[in-house]
Amino acid sequence: MQNTRTEPREAPAHRPPSYWLPLLQLADSALPTGAFSHSFGLETFLERGLVRDEETFRIWLSHFIHTQLTHSDGLAIRLALEAGSAAELRELDALLTAQALPRQVREAGVKMGARMLQIASAILDSAEVEQYREDVAAGDCSGHPALAFALAGRSLQVPLPELVSTYLFSTATSLTQNAIRGIPIGQDAGQRVLRRIHPDIAAATVRIAGLDRSDFGATAPGLEIAQMRHERQRARMFMS
Tens-digit pLDDT profile for residues 8-29: 455 456 788 999 999 999 999 8
- Residue pLDDT, tens place only, 109-135: 999 999 999 999 999 999 999 999 999
Residues 6+ apart with CB under 8 A from 109: 96, 97, 100, 142, 143, 144, 145
Please report, for the domain that includes residue 102, its CATH number.
Answer: 1.10.4190.10
If you ran DSSP here, which 8-state letter would residue 18 be given?
T
222 within domain boundaries: yes
Q: How far is CA 24 from the centre of its chain?
A: 12
1 within domain boundaries: no
Domains identified in the chain, total number:
1
Distance (Å, whole) CA 108 – CA 33: 10
177 within domain boundaries: yes
Residue-number span of the structural domain to which 145 is assigned: 35-228
41 within domain boundaries: yes
pTM (predicted TM-score): 0.92
53: amino acid identity, one letter: D
20 within domain boundaries: no
237 within domain boundaries: no
Please report, for residues 77, 96, 132, 186, the alpha-carbon distance to residue 231 in angstroms, rounded to integers and kept in the order given: 28, 20, 30, 27
Residues 6+ apart with CB under 8 A from 237: 39, 43, 181, 182
